[in-house]
């Protein structure tokens, strides 16, 4: 037998390898985006230390103050410090963003992969349902579902999941149809692995990448749509600080006190920026891994 | 033998994530008028990059950093773009491996065939171009050519597409055709048809053909002279018969020993593989690039440069130990 | 190996067919247009004796891969039997088929797509060993190294991902993965078509070594006749889903009797500058597999075609010891062909 040789791979020393594995460290977009989000989360965790005000207690003698060294973002119509409320809302808003994308992602990936992998009538049924769900305008469906279930965080998650899964199912099915043809999936079948194992070990890890990349931009959209929900009084209920409901509550004052709407809006923009940078960076890293 | 294209010290580099990749490294050769010149080598050895450098069809990041290619007294690599466009397509045409990818799926075959002729003003009127297109299709062996002009590429099979691409290359009566693996994507019986078509046309029209391939069989069946490429460099150039009977480079010899041959009696000889695999062109080995895989390698092979040296009439090799190779039995 | 009939075959394929239904989309169902059928493999029978390497050649689309995959039920055949050691595996219920998979393995053509990009070599081989409990957990590591050694990969390959290997090395990993199952029968589907010439010989020699060392039986698929000649003990030639000729290696290459086999042999460019011809070996192209010609499927390209060929499909018949040909006029197919003239002085 011929001499075993590592060719080009053989000369790559371990450090070279590690450094290349650690490609995520070399992605400015990833670092900046991640850093931005991390900073926001940290600030909200330290909210009590950063700002002396209470996010909920009203102070009616101090309403609608413009931004100043005392109240950086000014105060609202109940005299609450807006900066404090924006800080306190970070965790809730990120939680809403992440969970409202995670649930539909899991459901969508599962059903979409099932459809793509099994094919046949399962695929037909799932994809017809996907078509129906996609046909409804996103917000209309969310509002309708919350209207049925009654306002609140749980019904919001349910509604966003029901309205959002179909996009992930489409992605998953499309990717699976490609991967299913890849010979390593055929190889796994030839090796006698069970369908479950092939699905979870050999197929899903390879379709999660595009799904995650899509999810990053989806989170921003979801946070924005919670704003619309709060507008209609269907989202997070006052007085809990949440950017969407803050904007909704500040709307009547937009001509006289711009800071009520604009500054929480800035927070959403910042999160959006952080997430899309993170998404871009992640996309680069994950794509080049193959 | 009259030279028609003289390539000297051609070097093309591509920046990659891992560093600068020298895809074509100091390549020199002369193409003679009316010959079929083979360029053979393994995947990644720089055959396509050499052709693309000559026609200035490189990927956007790649740069030809050195060298000249003299055609009719002017250096193709330094011609101003306008003048170069007069040459490319008209005097020097290229045939690519993947014909399907080269043809534009939304345009009719007739239009694609007449486009270059009209652009280069080889013909005066569209009617004349059409007549020539029919004649060209007939020449490359497409039946009922008048009717096929209205077709789209997807209505053609792979072999017919390759015939069509050849017809397009011939349309402006070029002096030189660079054919980059024109038959690699085809089945063996179709490959045989296309090769024989190319050889016949070359004979008939007297064009000079550079035939890039990785298949020693294709070289033996069609070329008069051959250059062997390894890791971006030409390591040997010889007339076909000398190359196959008395190769003067261990790599060439290794290639010949590792391709299975059909034997009339069905008996087979064991193959001698070349150990290892081709080097990484970002960090090529120092000295002779073949030394990690070469059975004759010794200390002096690990350092210095290895230019092509005359080792016979019409025969050059980059190996300093070519004398030790002897005749192949 | 000549006296095949004496040994019971390890694998017997009887009248195997695979039809794909094309255009069976929603619209077609709605309009009740009959779907078109593509006969990828059409009524193929063959037997493979233990220890044989059966080479299967043909142009792309002739049905080689489909046949190979049917043998492992990676593709479900439409009709026919596949007997492995006398058991019809097409009738096996799922659970028993999983067990059978251990004995039947496949090596793929594309060393780039046949390995999961996210698994290291250790994970890939380890998974096979542990899922099928092929060796006790504490032995897995050692067995992985043993397998790597067997296919000529260095031990430090275990923690690398497929992207860190060259084409030839990946092909070795694919072979190691198949061998991990300790199979008795391997389908090698063009294992050297996508690797470099200088690596091709390494992989071929490895397969020949392994066959001798482990007593494997193999169906070796290729489109390159010289590769098949090099490795096989017996050879079958396919054209448009049909087996058109089958014979022991020496016989097939020295006395091919089917006009298509002869055309293939003449068309293969030989690395020998003293041996060429200006004549095109076979004119024409294979017709659309959706509308195969009536009678002999080769008649549109065959130099010997007669009216009979256009009407009746020729049966595969034995014309000599172990030499099967499907041609009405096999006795007219002269070999070697007269007048092979050099084209240039
Ligand atoms: N666009 C590109 N970006 C980066 N590297 C490239 C690019 N194109 C080619 N290369 C590299 O340049 C080298 C030479 O490539 P080239 O395509 O000329 O090889 P080749 O001899 O034609 O091979 P093949 O037989 O596979 O066609 C290879 O190492 C290849 O990886
Ligand atoms: N999944 C499929 N669906 C439809 N047609 C297929 C499928 N797989 C293969 N075919 C067709 O079956 C024929 C034989 O294919 P294949 O066995 O892959 O040929 P080969 O391996 O000889 O190149 C071809 O015409 C091909 O297009
Ligand atoms: S120069 Fe040395 S290493 Fe290079 S081919 Fe010749 S003998 Fe081998
Ligand atoms: S049966 Fe007729 S057409 Fe078919 S191969 Fe034989 S001679 Fe040719
Ligand atoms: Mg190329
Ligand atoms: Mg195939």
Report the 3 state secondary structure along chain A. CCCCCCHHHHHCCHHHHHHHHHHHHHCHHHHHHHHHHHHHHHHHHCHHHHCCCCCCCCCHHHCCCCCCCCCCCCECCCCCEHHHHHHHHHHHHHHHHHHHHHHHHHHHHHHHHHHHHHCHHHHHHHHHHHHHHHHCCHHHHHHHHHHHHCCCHHHHHHHHHHHHHHHHHHHHHHHHHHHHHCHHHHHHHHCCCCHHHHHHHHHHHHHHHHHHHHHHHHHHHHHHHHHHHHHCCCCCCCCCCCHHHHHHHHHHHCCCCCHHHHHHHHHHHHHHHHHHHHHHHHHHHHHHHC
- What rounded mean pLDDT belongs to chain A? 81
Nearest residue (by CA) to ligand 1, atom 31, is B44
Q: Is residue A62 part of a domain?
A: no
pLDDT of residue B291: 96
Which residue among C253, C280, C285 places its CB closest to the CB of B196?
Answer: C280
Q: How buried is residue C195: exposed, middle or buried, by Cβ count under 10 Å (0-12/13-18/19+)?
A: buried
pLDDT digits (tens, 9 = 90+) for C265-294: 999 998 988 877 778 889 988 888 888 999
Nearest residue (by CA) to ligand 3, atom 3, is B291
Cα–Cα distance for residue pair B12/B14, rounded to 1 Å: 7
- Give me the domains of chain C, ranges plus CATH numbers: 2-261 (3.40.50.300)
Which chain A residues touch C118 with a CB distance below 8 Å? 205-206, 289
Residues with CB under 6 A from ligand 3: B 249-250, 288, 290-291, 294, 296-297, 301, 306, 319-321
Lowest-confidence segment of A160-164, A226-230, A238-242, C236-240 by average pLDDT: A226-230
pLDDT digits (tens, 9 = 90+) for A175-201: 888 888 788 888 888 888 888 888 888
Lowest-confidence segment of B231-240, B293-302, C19-28, C43-52 by average pLDDT: C19-28
Q: Which domain holds residue A42?
A: 25-48+68-288
Measure B52 CA to ligand 5 centroid, in angstroms. Answer: 10
Mean pLDDT, residues C230-245 = 96
Q: Is residue A246 part of a domain?
A: yes
pLDDT of residue C31: 67
Residue of A nearest to B279 (CA): A8
pLDDT of residue A14: 39
Phi/psi of residue C106, each to 5°?
Answer: -135, 145
CA distance C81 to chain B (A): 30
Which residue among C60, C263, C270 places its CB closest to the CB of B262?
Answer: C270
Instruction: Indicate which CATH number applies to the domain containing A36.
Output: 1.10.3720.10
Contact A169, A108 (CB under 8 A): yes
Residues 6+ apart with CB under 8 A from B261: B269, C226, C270, C271, C272
Tell me which H or E stretch contains C310.
Answer: helix C307-311
Total domains in chain A come to 1
B residues 255..274 contacting A (CB < 8 A): 273
pLDDT of residue C342: 41
- Going through B17-114 in order, the beta strands assigned E by DSSP cover 19-32, 36-40, 63-71, 74-75, 92-95
Structural tokens at position C180: 């991990």
Give the ligand with the smallest distance to the CA of B40: 1
CA distance B278 to chain A (A): 7
Which chain C residues touch B241 with a CB distance below 8 Å? 273-274
Output DSSP code: residue B88. Answer: B
pLDDT of residue A254: 83
Tell me which H or E stretch contains C38.
Answer: strand C36-48
Q: Per the omega criterion (within 30 degrees of 0), is the bond before A15 cis?
A: no
Which chain A residues touch B17 with a CB distance below 8 Å? 288
Mean pLDDT, residues C131-139 = 89
pLDDT digits (tens, 9 = 90+) for C71-100: 999 999 999 999 999 999 999 998 888 888
pLDDT of residue C345: 31
Most C-contacting residue of B257, B259, B290, B293 (CB-CB within 10 A), to test interface: B259
Q: Is residue A3 part of a domain?
A: no
- What rounded mean pLDDT belongs to chain C? 89
Q: Is residue A194 part of a domain?
A: yes
| Contact across the interface for A7 and B273, Cβ inside 8 Å | no
Q: Is residue A10 part of a domain?
A: no
Q: Is residue A165 part of a domain?
A: yes
Nearest residue (by CA) to ligand 2, atom 12, is C40
| Contact across the interface for C74 and A190, Cβ inside 8 Å | yes
Q: Is residue A2 part of a domain?
A: no
Which chain C residues touch A191 with a CB distance below 8 Å? 101, 105, 128, 131-132, 177, 181
* ipTM of model: 0.89
CA distance C223 to chain B (A): 8
Q: Is residue A214 part of a domain?
A: yes
CA distance A134 to chain C (A): 20
Mean pLDDT, residues C155-173 = 87
pLDDT digits (tens, 9 = 90+) for A122-145: 888 999 999 998 888 888 888 889
Contact B230, C308 (CB under 8 A): no
Q: Give this prediction's pTM.
A: 0.81
| Contact across the interface for A187 and C102, Cβ inside 8 Å | no
**Where does the pLDDT of residue C341 fall: very low under 50, low under 70, confident under 90, or very high at 90 and above?**
very low
A26 or C103, higher pLDDT: C103
Which chain C residues touch A206 with a CB distance below 8 Å? 116-118
pLDDT digits (tens, 9 = 90+) for A277-286: 888 887 777 6
pLDDT digits (tens, 9 = 90+) for C199-208: 889 999 999 9
- Does A99 have pLDDT greater than 70? yes
Residue of A nearest to B278 (CA): A7
């Amino acid at each position: 037998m011929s001499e075993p040789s590592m060719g080009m791979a053989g000369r790559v020393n371990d450090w070279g390898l590690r450094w290349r594995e650690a490609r995520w460290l070399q992605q400015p977009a990833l670092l900046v985006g991640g850093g931005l989000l991390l900073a926001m989360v940290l600030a909200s965790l330290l909210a009590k230390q950063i700002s002396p005000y209470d996010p909920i207690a009203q102070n009616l003698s101090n309403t609608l103050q413009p931004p100043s060294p005392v109240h950086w973002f000014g105060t609202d119509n109940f005299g609450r410090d807006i900066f404090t409320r924006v800080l306190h809302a970070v965790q809730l808003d990120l939680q809403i963003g992440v969970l409202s994308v995670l649930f539909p992602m899991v459901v969508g990936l599962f059903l979409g992969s099932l459809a793509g992998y099994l094919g046949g009538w399962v695929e037909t049924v799932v994809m017809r349902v996907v078509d129906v769900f996609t046909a409804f305008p996103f917000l209309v469906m969310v509002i309708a579902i919350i209207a049925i279930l009654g306002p609140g965080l749980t019904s919001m998650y349910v509604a966003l999941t029901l309205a959002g899964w179909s996009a992930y199912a489409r992605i998953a099915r499309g990717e699976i149809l490609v991967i299913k043809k890849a010979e390593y999936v055929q190889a796994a079948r030839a090796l006698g692995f069970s369908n479950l194992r092939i699905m979870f070990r050999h197929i899903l890890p390879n379709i999660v990448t595009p799904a995650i990349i899509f999810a990053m931009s989806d989170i921003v959209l979801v946070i924005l749509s919670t704003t619309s929900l709060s507008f209609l009084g269907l989202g997070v209920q006052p007085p809990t600080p949440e950017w969407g409901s803050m904007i909704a509550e500040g709307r009547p004052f937009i001509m006289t006190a711009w800071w009520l709407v604009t500054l929480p809006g800035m927070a959403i923009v910042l999160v959006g920026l952080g997430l899309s940078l993170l998404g871009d960076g992640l996309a680069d890293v994950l794509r080049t891994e193959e | 033998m009259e030279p028609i294209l003289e390539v000297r010290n051609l070097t093309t580099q591509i920046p990659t994530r891992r560093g600068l990749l020298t895809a074509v490294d100091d390549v020199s050769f002369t193409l003679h008028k009316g010959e079929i010149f083979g360029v053979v080598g393994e995947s990644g050895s720089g055959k396509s990059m050499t052709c693309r450098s000559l026609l200035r069809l490189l990927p956007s990041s790649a740069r030809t950093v050195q060298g000249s290619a003299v055609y009719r007294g002017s250096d193709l690599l330094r011609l101003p773009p306008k003048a170069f466009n007069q040459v490319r397509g008209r005097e020097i045409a290229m045939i690519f491996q993947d014909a399907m990818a080269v043809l534009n799926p939304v345009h009719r075959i007739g239009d694609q065939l007449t486009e270059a002729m009209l652009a280069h003003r080889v013909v005066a009127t569209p009617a004349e171009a059409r007549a020539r297109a029919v004649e060209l299709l007939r020449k490359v062996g497409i039946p009922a050519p008048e009717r096929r002009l209205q077709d789209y590429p997807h209505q053609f099979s792979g072999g017919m597409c390759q015939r069509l691409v050849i017809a397009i290359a011939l349309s402006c009566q070029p002096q030189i055709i660079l054919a980059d693996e024109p038959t690699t994507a085809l089945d063996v019986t179709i490959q045989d048809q296309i090769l024989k078509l190319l050889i016949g046309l070359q004979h008939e029209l007297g064009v000079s053909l550079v035939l890039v391939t990785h298949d020693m069989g294709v070289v033996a069946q069609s070329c008069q002279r051959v250059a062997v490429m390894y890791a971006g460099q030409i390591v040997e150039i010889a007339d076909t018969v000398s190359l196959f009977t008395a190769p003067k480079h261990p790599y060439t010899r290794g290639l010949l020993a590792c391709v299975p041959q059909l034997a009339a009696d069905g008996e087979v000889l064991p193959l001698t593989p070349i150990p290892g695999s081709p080097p990484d062109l970002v960090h090529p080995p120092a000295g002779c690039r073949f030394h990690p895989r070469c059975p004759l390698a010794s200390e002096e092979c690990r350092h210095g440069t290895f230019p092509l040296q005359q080792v016979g009439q019409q025969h050059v090799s980059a190996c300093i130990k070519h004398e030790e190779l002897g005749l192949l039995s | 190996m000549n006296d095949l009939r004496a040994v019971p075959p390890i694998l017997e394929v009887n009248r195997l067919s695979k039809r794909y239904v094309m255009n069976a989309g929603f619209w077609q169902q709605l309009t009740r247009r009959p779907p078109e059928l593509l006969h990828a493999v059409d009524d193929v029978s063959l037997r493979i004796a233990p220890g044989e390497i059966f080479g299967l050649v043909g142009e792309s689309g002739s049905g080689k891969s489909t046949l190979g995959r049917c043998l492992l039920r990676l593709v479900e055949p439409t009709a026919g039997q596949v007997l492995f050691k006398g058991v019809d595996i097409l009738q096996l219920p799922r659970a028993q088929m999983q067990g059978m998979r251990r004995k039947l393995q496949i090596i793929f053509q594309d060393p780039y797509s046949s390995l999961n990009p996210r698994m290291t070599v250790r994970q890939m081989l380890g998974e096979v060993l542990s899922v099928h409990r092929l060796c006790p957990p504490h032995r897995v590591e050692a067995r992985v190294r043993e397998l790597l050694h067997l296919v000529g990969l260095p031990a430090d390959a275990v923690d690398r991902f497929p992207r860190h290997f060259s084409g030839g090395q990946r092909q070795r990993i694919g072979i190691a993965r198949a061998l991990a199952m300790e199979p008795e029968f391997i389908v090698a589907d063009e294992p050297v078509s996508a690797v470099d010439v200088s690596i091709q010989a390494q992989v071929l020699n490895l397969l020949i070594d392994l066959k001798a060392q482990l007593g494997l039986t193999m169906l070796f698929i290729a489109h390159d006749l010289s590769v098949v000649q090099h490795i096989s003990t017996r050879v079958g030639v396919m054209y448009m889903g049909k087996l058109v000729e089958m014979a022991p290696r020496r016989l097939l290459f020295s006395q091919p009797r089917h006009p298509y086999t002869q055309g293939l042999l003449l068309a293969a460019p030989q690395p020998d500058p003293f041996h060429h011809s200006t004549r095109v070996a076979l004119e024409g192209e294979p017709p659309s597999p959706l509308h195969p010609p009536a009678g002999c499927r080769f008649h549109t390209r065959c130099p010997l075609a007669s009216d009979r060929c256009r009407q009746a499909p020729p049966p595969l018949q034995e014309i000599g010891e172990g030499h099967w040909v499907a041609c009405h006029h096999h006795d007219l197919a002269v070999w070697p062909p007269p007048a092979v003239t050099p084209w240039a002085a």
